[in-house]
Structure formats: C-alpha cells, structure tokens
Structure 1
Amino acid sequence: MADSDFTDDESEYDSRLTFSISIMERVLAPFRALVSKSALRIYLNTLLFMGAASLLIGISAIAYGVFYLKFIPTVGLQREVHLQFGNGNPWGTAHFDSELVALQPYDVSVTLELPRTPSNIDTGNFMLDLTLFSSRPASLVLPGPANTPISQARRPAILTYASPMVDVARRAARMPLYVVGLHRELEKLEVPMMEQLEFAKGARNLPQSLRLEIQSDLKMQIYTARVEFRARLTGLRWLMYRWKITSLVVFSSLFWFVSMLSASLTWLALTWVWGTTPNNEIKEEPLDLAKDEPDDRISSEESVKKEESESSLLHIYPAEGEAMGSGLESAKARGVQKRRSHTQAD
C-alpha cells in the first residue's frame, strides 16, 4: 500500500514538473528568439544602418552649405568710395576681392548723401561717371593701356526741388529732430548706373576695382558716396535664396537618399562577395551519410519484422512462446558461457 502511494506521488510530481517545464519553455521561447544569433545579427545591422544614416545626414547638410556658398553669389555688395577733392572734379576708387561672379546679372547704382546747401541746390544737374577695371592699380585718375575698362556708364543726377515755402514748412516740422540730432539736413540720392550687367567667364573679365567721378560746373559738398552691386537672381539661384529652409531640407534629403542608396548597394555587393564559397571547398560528408542511410533503414526494418513475428507467435501459442522464449534465452546464455570459456582457455 505504501509503495503504491509512493508511486502515485512520484508520478504526480513528474507530471507537475513536466507541466512547469513546458510552461517555462513557452514563456522563455520569445526571449530565446531575442538573443539568438539571427536576432543579434539583425541588431548589429540595424545599429550600423542607423549610424551610417546619421553620419550621412550631417555630411549632406555640410555639402549643401558648401554648395550654397559656392553657387549663390553675394546679393548686395557695397563699396564706399572715398572722394578726393582738389583740382578738378571729385573722384574716388574702390577695390573688390572675389565677391563678383561671371554670368550673373547685376544692377549697379550709386548712392550719394548730399547736404541741402545753397551751392548744391544751385548746381542743378551734375553727372556721375562710373568705370569698372579688371586690374587694381594704385591710381585710376586716367585709365591707361594697362587698366582697360570692362564697363563704363555716365548718368545725370539732381537734388529734389522744393519751393521756399515748402522748404521752410518742412524744416519747421522737423525742427525737434534737428535739435536733438536724430535727423540731418541732407538728401540721399540713389542713381541707377548699370542694369543687368553680366561679366563673361575668366578672371580678366571680372572687375577688380572701380573709379567714381562726380562731374559738375560748381563745387559740391558731399557726405558719403557708395557703389552697390545688386545681384538679380533667377532660376535655381532665386529659389535657393528665396526659400532657404525648404531648399536645405529638399536638397539635403536628395543628397542623403543618393548616398544611402549607394552605400546600401555597396554593402549588398560586399555581402554577396563574402558570402560565396568556392566549389572546391564543398565537403562530401553528406554524401557518405546518404550512402549509409539505406543500411540503417534495412537493419531497422528487419528488427521490426522480427519483433512482429515473435509477438504474433506469442499471441497464438502463449505457452510455447514462453518456452520458446526461455529456450532462446538459455541458448543465448550457453553461447555466452562458451565464448567466455574459449577466451579463458586462450
């Protein structure tokens, strides 16, 4: 009775243990998949992909910035001209570095700040002479053969006329600003000199200096004189300059996409090259195993047939089967004893 109880408890314990193990295997199955070799390979490839994508994003932004600085010219380029007064008309020079580019239309204008003195008002019309040179000589008073002008223009200018009554009323209205120094009695003239000026390719065709001369019959008083080059952007340059953020996103994304596509194709090509195995390195062990399989199958089939025949005999003749089985066992025992005696005699 005690043995049967112990056997029942042991079987119940085994069943519970088996059930617990099966539950643990089901719970741990997803985690085993997460740490498998294929999962680790996927993690590594994902990490490499994200790192390469982040690096290419930075490279794309830097490349677009360099392209923008090289492709988009300086839109508003100003040079202040320090006029020289003495004998003759006032004149002055200015120099350029490399801000101007070829095949780009420019609008050139001269801005003068003039005081409304009686002599300037009495001057009436006066002329502005602007000349662009391809060299940077020390003096551009008289252009010579060494500094051939690239472009030259002469335009008229005049102070705005105001009647005495209007002039007095305007000054009276601005008197507080004049007193505190927030406004000066001057007039700013902006004179267009050249429209859609375009330079040919080549360093010799780009201006390196300019000369401005103010031609008038009477002496004039001038505060400042500036020459401004205003680039007239068209096409892609206008789009990139007008929509800076949008252009940055679009062109950087395009550059990033092309870079990622090239990197992915290169990675797939290298993976395919490294993954191929030469034909002479293929092992022939599977062929040997395939040859051995028929023998194993034959032996297993023979043993199954033998067991089936013995069981059928025992089922038909149980007593004879038992005797036959005991006889076989005794015969086997006698055979074992004979072998042992032969080995001991030897």
Structure 2
Amino acid sequence: MILMFVYNILGWLKDSFDLTLTKLKYVVSKVAIFVTVFVILIWFSAFLYGSFYFAYMPPVSLTRPVNLQFKICEDGIGMCSYPADNITLVQEGQTEVFARGESYNIKMDTELPESPINKELGMFMVKLQLYDKTGEVVSSSSRSVSVMLHYRSELLRIMDTFVFSPLLLSGFVEQKQFLTVEFYNNYIDDSYNPAVGAYIEVQNKKIQIYSAVLKIHAHFTGLRYMLFHWPLLSAVIGTTLNMCLLSFIALLSWYQIYYSQSNGNSNSLELPETKTKNKTAMEERRRNIREMLAKERKATEDQMVGKSQSYPEMRYSKLETMVSRGMGEDPEECLISEKTLEDSESESTLRHRHTVMS
C-alpha cells in the first residue's frame, strides 16, 4: 500500500515536472524569438538612421591649404606678380562641396612674421573667386586688409624677447602673428551651378607669409541644425521612429502569414470531411433510386403487355440514363435528378393505371 502510494506520488511528480518543463521550453522559445527579433530590429533601425545621417549631413567644416605662387622677375630677385593659388574644393568622387540651401562662412587664416617689411605694408586687397566645373566664376569677393601688426613699444618688445628667450631659442615659440580675412559670412551656393574650386589672390608683392589656410564652415538650419547640435537626442528619436515603423511592418507580415496558414489548415481539415459526407449521401440516394426503378420495372413487366410495355421501358431507360449521367458529385444536381425521377414515376404510374382500367 505504501509502495503504491509512493509510486503514485513519483508518477505525479514526474508528470508535473514534464508538464512544467514543456511549458518552460515553450516560454523560453517564445522569449528567445522575441529577443532575437527585437535585437535585429534595433540594429537595423540604427543602421537605417546611420545611413540617413551620413547621406543627409554634409561636412560641417572644410579646410584647404593655400600654396601661394608668383612669378619671379627677370633679374631673379623679388616678385613680379601677385601671389595667388588655385584650390580644388571637391575631393575625388564628389560633385558638390556645399549643401543646397545651407549658408557657409568662408575665410582665410594666415601666419605672418613680425618682420620690419610686414610692419610697413599698410593696407592691400585680397580677392577670392569661386568657379564651377566649367571654369565660370559663380561668385567673387574682395576684402581690404591691414597688416599693421599689434603695436608694441620698444621696451615691451625687449622685455617680451627676454622673458620668452628660452622658448624662442628652443623653437617652441615664434615671433609671429595671425591674420584672418573673412570673405563670406553667409554664402549660399547656387544649386544649378555649384562651386567646385576657388582662386585666391593677395594683391601685394612685398608681403611675407609663413602659411595660409582656407576654411569653410557651415551654419546649419532646420533638421541639420538639430542633427548636428543634438546628435544623441536625434539618434534616439530617429532610431525609435525606425523601430516603430519596422515593428509595424513585421507585425503586419506575421499576421498575414499566420492568418493565411490558419485559413489553409481549417480548409484542409473541413474539406475532406465535407466531401466524404456528400459522397456517402449521393451513393445512398443512387442505391435507393436503383431499387425503386427495379421494383417498378418488375411490376410493370408483369402487368403490361404489347405496346403499353414499350413506353414505360423507354421511360425507365431515360430515367436510368438521367441517374447515371445527370448525377455528379454536386448535391444540388442530385436533388434536381431526384425530383425529375419522382415526376417521371408519378407520370408512369398514372399511365399504368389508365391502361389497366382500359
């Protein structure tokens, strides 16, 4: 008795464990599928946002070195032309450097030595021309520049040189000053004739320059302004929107597939049963009709003679043909044939009675 009780308890525990394990496997599989789909949607949403960002956002700044060139005089001493440089703004594979509808700040930064010649230059002009891919100038700007360096007295220069002499001797510090020439503060490129290059000319033959750099900086507005100044917030919002859209598409696809499979399974389960029932009913009706025809024919053959017998036989042959040819697998056809047979039977019975009475 105790062993049977223990055996039943162990069986119940085993069944409970198997049921719990089955449910756990089902839940774990569903959770794993959900987590996998969720991770895939997140990565794909982030990929879509990154692709949109790099395709929509132009570079915020562009820097090109200015290598000034000039003609040397015939005696080989000094400059006989203004120093100038032709700069290509687009890189290989690019067709435009300026984003459409955005404003840009264009300027040139130069490093000038604190030489006596630069101190005595005074004012001169610096010209910038932007041209398109055909070489036609699309925009031009000229700025007057004063190279009067920041004034410092003789005593201040001596003290500055003495204090920074270790750094000056070691090369960490140089006696130079920076000069910035701003050509455009709000330049908007022509969408039909975008600029691809720039020509810079310094209209002074005595100037001494260490280096010069052309800088282009964008002033974004609208959506680009938000994407540039709040990149993290924009990334979260963009990824979330992509996630919602992809989730909606995934749910619609899953519903369509699941609904189609459910309809297919229900049709596949119901259709054979319906066909079997219809076939059984039709076979039974055919058998009953054949038995009825056989009985009627036997009774008619026993009672009718001569010409009166040929007519019912013709009717019965027509009815048999109707039964064998007119009855298919459609239940409506069976009903029509059965009704036709009943009408024929009634007519035949009336004729038989009339013949007997006569």
Normalised by the length of structure 1, the TM-score is: 0.68
Listed one character per residue, the Cα deviations across residues 279-312 of structure 1 (whole Å, up to 9, x for unaligned) are: 861625999xxxxxxxxxxxxxxxxxxxxxxxxx
Tell me, yes or no, if the aligned pair for 1:101 and 1:206 is still in contact at 8 Å: no
Higher relative contact order (Cα pairs below 8 Å, separated by 6+ residues) = 1
Aligned match of 1:100 in 78, 98, 103?
Answer: 98
- Partners of 1:245 and 1:106 lie apart in 2 by 24
Aligned match of 1:230 in 217, 237, 254?
Answer: 217
- Partners of 1:78 and 1:215 lie apart in 2 by 22
- Partners of 2:70 and 2:103 lie apart in 1 by 33
Whichever residue aligns with residue 31 of structure 1, its letter is D
2:199 corresponding residue in structure 1: 211
Tell me, yes or no, if the aligned pair for 1:113 and 1:224 is still in contact at 8 Å: yes
1:70 corresponding residue in structure 2: 55
Is 2:165 the counterpart of 1:180? no
Normalised by the length of structure 2, the TM-score is: 0.65
1:162 corresponding residue in structure 2: 151
- Partners of 2:145 and 2:168 lie apart in 1 by 26
Structure 1 residues 156 and 172 mapped into 2: Cα distance closer, same or farther (>3 Å)? farther
Whichever residue aligns with residue 239 of structure 2, its letter is S
Tell me, yes or no, if the aligned pair for 2:130 and 2:138 is still in contact at 8 Å: yes
- Partners of 2:42 and 2:8 lie apart in 1 by 50
Residue 130 of structure 2: SS of its match in structure 1?
A: strand
Percent identity over the alignment is 22
Listed one character per residue, the Cα deviations across residues 50-94 of structure 1 (whole Å, up to 9, x for unaligned) are: 222222222222222221111221111011111012222110111
- Partners of 1:82 and 1:282 lie apart in 2 by 88
Structure 1 residues 168 and 208 mapped into 2: Cα distance closer, same or farther (>3 Å)? same
Residue 123 of structure 1: SS of its match in structure 2?
A: coil
Tell me, yes or no, if the aligned pair for 2:106 and 2:214 is still in contact at 8 Å: yes
Aligned match of 1:152 in 140, 143, 154?
Answer: 140
Whichever residue aligns with residue 158 of structure 1, its letter is S
- In the TM superposition, residue 47 of structure 1 has moved relative to its aligned partner by 3.0
- In the TM superposition, residue 117 of structure 1 has moved relative to its aligned partner by 1.2
Gaps of 5+ in 1: 1-11, 136-145, 288-346
Is 2:192 the counterpart of 1:199? no
Whichever residue aligns with residue 229 of structure 1, its letter is I
1:47 corresponding residue in structure 2: 32
- In the TM superposition, residue 41 of structure 1 has moved relative to its aligned partner by 5.5
Structure 1 residues 41 and 274 mapped into 2: Cα distance closer, same or farther (>3 Å)? farther
- In the TM superposition, residue 26 of structure 1 has moved relative to its aligned partner by 5.1
- Partners of 2:231 and 2:151 lie apart in 1 by 44
Tell me, yes or no, if the aligned pair for 1:91 and 1:214 is still in contact at 8 Å: yes
Listed one character per residue, the Cα deviations across residues 300-337 of structure 1 (whole Å, up to 9, x for unaligned) are: xxxxxxxxxxxxxxxxxxxxxxxxxxxxxxxxxxxxxx
Tell me, yes or no, if the aligned pair for 2:102 and 2:221 is still in contact at 8 Å: no
Whichever residue aligns with residue 213 of structure 1, its letter is E
- Partners of 2:40 and 2:152 lie apart in 1 by 69
- Aligned pairs, number: 260
- In the TM superposition, residue 43 of structure 1 has moved relative to its aligned partner by 4.5
- In the TM superposition, residue 35 of structure 1 has moved relative to its aligned partner by 1.5
Residue 126 of structure 1: SS of its match in structure 2?
A: strand
Q: Which residues of 2 match residues 326-341 of structure 1 at below 5 A?
A: none
Q: Which residues of 2 match residues 318-333 of structure 1 at below 5 A?
A: none
Tell me, yes or no, if the aligned pair for 2:117 and 2:206 is still in contact at 8 Å: yes
Greater Cα shift, 165-174 or 58-67 = 165-174
- Partners of 2:237 and 2:135 lie apart in 1 by 45
- Partners of 2:191 and 2:210 lie apart in 1 by 36
Aligned match of 1:121 in 119, 122, 133?
Answer: 119
- Partners of 1:30 and 1:247 lie apart in 2 by 50
Aligned match of 1:110 in 108, 111, 124?
Answer: 108
